[in-house]
Amino acid sequence: MSELKIDTRLWSSKARNLSPYTPGEQPQHDNLCKLNTNENPFPPSPKVGQAIAKVLERQADDLRLYPAPESDELRSALAGLYNLDVNQVFVGNGSDEVLALVFASFFLKERPVLAPDISYSFYPVYAHTFGIELVQIALEADFSLSPDAYRQPCSGIIIANPNAPTGLLLSLADISKLASEHSNSVIVIDEAYIDFAQIEADSSGTTVSAISLINDYDNILVTQTFSKSRSLAGLRVGMAFGNASLIEALTRMKNSFNSYPLDKLAQAGATASVLDVEYFEKTRQQVIDLRESLTADLVALDYKVLPSHANFVFVRPKEGNASAVASALREQGIIVRHFDKPRINEYLRITVGTAEQNERLIDALTTLHADTEVTAD
């Protein structure tokens, strides 16, 4: 096949100047151990497929009609799950679309948006797309986030919590501090991985999710996704929780862009997932347990492992040769994520897999480092 030649003469200047987000690699190989894109190792609730099949059984009547534009049943289920009013819940076509609407709705061009310098790499893409200045605030040497570093004028702050790719968790006290000190700015807490965070054991049973703060702070907006903890990355459903005024702004922006973002199948499947609490809790805990086991095995290999609250671990090989380790694993059909960026280029992000996948990874690393030591001798 000849190389495709792109003619940009009919493109807008905006299209020419875009720097699109590069998603994690989706290679197609036999016997692949794919630990690079943080997909859940377990299937979704069986009730998801049942709900979708029920819609398809009524195909002649249902699929010719538009879906509910505001996904009322799904929003009601989410509101019930988190003890919120339905007008505090927004849903969209994946959390990436929700985040794009957030940038368009709240981040003013006159003042910059603040974000960590090591975080979800889509944030700079959104800022560039919408012509918004993004100021990246350096994480501490241990990759933790200091709220005091954000004491400057801004139109908003966006923080992934747990952070990606580090997996570190910002406390609710620190989030409250940011919201209090920036009362006229929207504080967006991107909780794609929050369901894998360990819940703090105290008498109040306090959750680690910032959803618990939205009734106290009208400027906190929390985004989440069905892609990780609910094993529905292929269904494309994301959501946001916040003060009703923030949700109304998102709804107005959505309806000026894509008024029917979630199709009938996505709405039915996502609602079934929310309602199957028992399955969700079981698989969530299984991932947490697998993460702790994987962490212990990596530490035994002299890897530095950051304390993760996500479904991945961020690790530094003993020699810091992360790129070489990633390449060696690839040769054995094991794919992990290496970021060739300052400060983190000696680290790997490794998705928590099944017990079998994790064992395959550890066996490969054990052999790799044993061979390296022999070669060095």
The tens-digit pLDDT sequence of the chain (377 residues) is 467 777 776 666 777 776 665 665 556 566 889 999 999 999 999 999 999 999 888 766 778 889 999 999 999 999 999 999 999 999 999 999 999 999 999 998 789 999 999 999 999 999 999 999 999 999 999 999 999 999 999 999 999 999 999 999 999 999 999 999 999 999 999 999 999 997 654 434 456 899 999 999 999 999 999 999 999 999 999 999 999 999 999 999 999 988 889 999 999 999 999 999 999 999 999 999 999 999 999 999 999 999 999 999 999 998 899 999 999 999 999 999 999 999 999 999 999 999 999 999 999 999 998 876 634 43
Contact status, residue 354 vs residue 41, Cβ threshold 8 Å: yes
Pair of tokens at residue 371: 């061979």
With tokens 């996502």, the residue in question is 270
Pseudo-torsion of CA 274, 350, 37, 186, nearest 10°? 70
Which has the closest alpha carbon to 295: 287, 305, 286? 305
Give the pLDDT of residue 27. Answer: 62
Give the pLDDT of residue 57. Answer: 84
Contact status, residue 311 vs residue 228, Cβ threshold 8 Å: yes
Contact status, residue 189 vs residue 161, Cβ threshold 8 Å: yes
Q: What is the pTM of this model?
A: 0.91
For residues 46 and 73, what is the distance between their CA atoms, to the nearest angstrom?
A: 19
Cα angle for residues 203, 164, 97 (degrees, 5° grid): 100
Strands of the chain, DSSP E: 33-35, 89-92, 113-116, 134-137, 156-160, 186-190, 220-225, 238-242, 304-305, 312-316, 334-338, 348-351
